[in-house]
Amino acid sequence: MSSKLTKVVANFETSLATKLGNGAVAGALTSITDKNSVALPNGRYCMIVDRGTGDEEHLLFDLTGNAIANIVSVSRQGVQTAGVQNLNGHRAGAKCYLTDFINLKVIVDILNGADTLDAANPLRYDADPSFNDGKQVVTKKYADDQSAGKVGKTGNENIAGVKTFQDRPIFQSGLTSNTPVSAADPVGSNDVATKQWVLALAFGGAALISGLNSPQINYDRRGRVRSVHDLDNGKTYVLTYDPGDVLRSIFDGTNIWVIQYKPDGALQAISKR
């Protein structure tokens, strides 16, 4: 946005030092000193030339000293066209009046969503604000502060509390378990095939394989573990259940492991066939 805005000076008027013919893109002003005898700084300006006449035209240009360059004609609806567009041009001595029209047009377009802010010059607050509404525009610092401690976790950490995974988590490193992991029973009191049970007991033990480094867990509609895919070795382990939703076998495409239980439901043996 800032690259589209012009310099702002109150009640400034001057005249053309040179004639600007139709299509002209450069010229000069007779004076660049305001009523307080302060010279206009170099920069982008917009002026009305020949105001109140049939040759009236808004011109946008770059000012360096008294010289004007990169002249653009601006229509009353804000359409910009390179060069003077008035067919008669503008004579030397024609009156010029500074206007903020182009600035107002840019600001209104931004607020209406028709134009964008300038990425090279981001807007900023004068201090760190307190945000209390979801529709407020937050700062980078606020976003950084909110995300600190929530993302980018590395190294070994102890995470307290119950963590529930609602979909299919992918673990990119090996899993170990020192104590049983409790979880809500998704099927019934006999359902032993929870994700934690499969990973910590069956796949973590020597009875099946040495361990899964990158397992991807898939569930069926009843919330039971349907299969476990090892992203490292490409194997998929398919689990089957009896009518009582008790895990009975695990098949990897080549071998099948049969799960046997004691009368009280505790694991008795895992045999390979």
Q: What are the pLDDT digits (tens) for 213-268? A: 667 778 788 777 788 887 777 888 888 888 877 888 888 888 888 888 788 777 77
**End-of-domain residue from the set 53, 78, 111:** 111
Within-domain flag for 137: no
Class of residue 228 by CB neighbours under 10 A (exposed 0-12, middle 13-18, buried 19+): buried
Q: Is residue 208 part of a domain?
A: yes
Residues 6+ apart with CB under 8 A from 143: none
Number of domains in the chain: 2
Burial tier of 141 (Cβ tally within 10 Å: 0-12, 13-18, 19+): exposed
Q: Could you say which of 111, 143, 162 is where a domain stops?
A: 111
**DSSP 3-state of 124:** coil
* Amino acid identity for residue 124 in this structure: R
In-domain check, residue 265:
yes
Q: Is residue 6 part of a domain?
A: no
Q: Please give the structure tokens belonging to residue 23.
A: 């299509």
Distances (CA, A) of 45 to 91, 100, 103, 221, 252: 19, 9, 10, 68, 75
Is 116 inside a domain boundary?
no
Interval 21-41 mean pLDDT: 96
3-state secondary structure of 115: coil
123 occurs within a structural domain: no
**Residue 235 lies inside a defined structural domain of this protein:** yes
Domain that holds residue 201: 195-272
- The 10s digit of each residue's pLDDT in 19-28 is 999 999 999 9
Residue 210 is predicted with a pLDDT of 45
pLDDT in tens, 74-95: 999 999 999 999 999 999 999 9
Query: What's the whole-number mean pLDDT along residues 196-200?
Result: 50
pLDDT band for 184, please (50, 70, 90 cuts).
Answer: very low
Tell me the Ramachandran region of residue 155: left when phi exceeds 0, alpha when psi lies from -120 to 50, beta otherwise: left
Residue 199 has pLDDT above 80, yes or no: no
Percent of the chain at pLDDT exceeding 70: 75
Within-domain flag for 129:
no
Indicate the residue among 94, 111, 128 that finishes a domain. Answer: 111
Helix or strand run (H / E) with residue 65: none
Neighbouring C-alpha atoms within 13 Å toward the C-beta of 149? 3
